[in-house]
């Protein structure tokens, strides 16, 4: 199985699902595009979506470059931690934004680990390739 590919696609699907929740919230809270303000509940859902996009830009290259140097199952496992972290972040931010810390740490930590796991062997020219 191509574990890293599966996790990457799941991350993109998760992002799209969060986008669908933004669309649903627009209807629920009466926020017509292009507006992004007017309801605190809508703004929370929107911010989760945007924050997920911000992290996705770092996650995807981190996954693929780290997979060049490390076993795919370990790289994919870090990606799964990210995915779980995003769900925890979403649930916390939507209900009580100040409680989002755990979800954020579970999202950002795998990204930093993947980026370091990519950078160090790339600089040292070590690893599988």
Q: What is the pLDDT along the chain (129 residues), one digit of tens a residue?
A: 699 999 999 999 999 999 999 999 999 999 999 999 999 999 999 999 999 999 999 999 999 999 999 999 999 999 999 999 999 999 999 999 999 999 999 999 999 999 999 999 989 986 555
Alpha-carbon distance 60 to 118, whole Å?
12
Read off the pTM.
0.93
Domain membership flag for residue 87 = yes
Q: Show the domain range for 14.
A: 3-124
Domain membership flag for residue 129 = no
Alpha-carbon distance 80 to 54, whole Å?
17
Which residues are CB-contacts of 10 (< 8 A; sequence separation ≥ 6)?
79, 83
Domain membership flag for residue 30 = yes
125: DSSP letter: T
Number of domains, the chain = 1
- Check which CATH number belongs to the domain holding 14 and give it: 1.20.120.550
Domain membership flag for residue 29 = yes
């Amino acid at each position: 199985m191509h574990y890293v590919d599966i996790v990457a696609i799941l991350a993109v699907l998760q992002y799209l699902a969060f986008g669908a929740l933004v669309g649903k919230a627009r209807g629920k809270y009466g926020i017509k595009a292009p507006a992004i303000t007017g309801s605190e509940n809508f703004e929370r859902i929107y911010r989760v979506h945007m924050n997920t996009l911000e992290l996705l830009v770092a996650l995807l290259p981190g996954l693929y470059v780290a997979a060049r140097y490390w076993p795919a199952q370990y790289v994919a496992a870090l990606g799964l931690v990210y995915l779980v972290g995003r769900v925890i972040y979403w649930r916390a931010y939507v209900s009580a934004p100040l409680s989002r810390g755990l979800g954020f740490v579970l999202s950002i930590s795998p990204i930093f680990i993947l980026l370091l796991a990519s950078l160090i062997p790339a600089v040292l020219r070590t690893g599988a390739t």
